[in-house]
Amino acid sequence: MPRFGPPDALARLCTGSAHADSVELKALLSTPAAQAAEALTGRPSPTWSERRTYLLDTEALDLLRAGVEIRLRRRARGRYDLAVSTHRAGTAHERDVPRGVRVELDVVPGAVWQDIEVRREVDPGEASHVIARAFDPRELLSTTQRAWALRGGNEPVDDGALKELTVLGPLVVHRVKVTAAAPGLRADLEHFRFPSGRTMVELSTHCGPHEVAATAAAFDRLFDDQQIAVADGYRTKTSLWREEFGA
């Protein structure tokens, strides 16, 4: 059985989800990060890039409880972006979304959901001050992001919760680009380390909605050809954030 579902089911996913902007196929690995990186790149010591992601929420994780995740990410070359995202089970078309929203289908072994996200670049100086807790995190949110944070989740969030936002994290992410092991397929190997020291290793690839069946087949072959072991089940980073901070 293919890891990401039968080809006919993926073909129906394409047809029924043409409104999505992109699809991400991903799986957690039980193969250690260094071993997977060597196998996938063909290099004994590949270069890992580093990113850091901070969760903006209240101490009680009121937004995560409501199904909203606000992430401040430090990217390469000192750039920052801010994303407000919510998840929806399945692939039903979401009509009540703000202008400028990005809809991505997340396909993992045994599950599919939508990640509905409003993202924007933010000023590096302001982002640094927020991380240092010297600047109000609310000031980073655009009007659209603020509205989506309040009403985009499984239940509405009171505007007062945004006044209590604090910085949690960071989640340290080391990434290796994978191309050599799978001609025509671009993938990312990522090693995540949470503040508690808990780690997870994930391999992912992106494609357009109508390319998902072919991409899934190529992605499946990559695991087998390089003898990369997929972990049992899939845990979202959101669920691990909840565990990290006691929700």
Residue pLDDT, tens place only, 93-106 = 666 777 778 999 99
**What is residue 65's predicted lDDT score, i.e. its pLDDT?**
93
Place of tokens 């655009």: 142
- State the Cα–Cα distance between residues 46 and 40, nearest whole angstrom: 10
Looking at 2.40.320.10, 3.40.109.10, 2.60.40.1120, 3.90.1150.10, the CATH number of the domain 7-244 comes to: 2.40.320.10
Q: Where are the domains of the chain?
A: 7-244
For the chain, the average pLDDT equals 91
Which of 116-120, 126-130, 243-247 shows the lowest per-residue confidence on average (mean pLDDT)?
Answer: 243-247
CA torsion through residues 238, 4, 217, 43, sign: positive
Instruction: For the beta carbon of residue 243, count every other beta carbon within 10 angstroms.
Output: 12
* CA angle, 7 then 10 then 11, to 5°: 85
CA torsion through residues 106, 246, 71, 179, sign: negative
| Greater model confidence, 221 or 6 | 221
What is the mean predicted confidence (pLDDT) over 221-238?
93
**What is residue 101's predicted lDDT score, i.e. its pLDDT?**
87
Chain segment 32-59, per-residue pLDDT in tens: 999 999 999 999 989 999 999 999 999 9
27 Cα distance to chain centroid: 12
Q: Which of 4, 5, 1, 11 is nearest to 211 (CA)?
A: 11
Q: 239 pLDDT exceeds 80?
A: yes
Chain segment 149-182, per-residue pLDDT in tens: 999 999 999 999 999 999 999 999 999 999 866 7
pLDDT band at 15 (very low <50, low <70, confident <90, very high): low
**What is residue 177's predicted lDDT score, i.e. its pLDDT?**
94
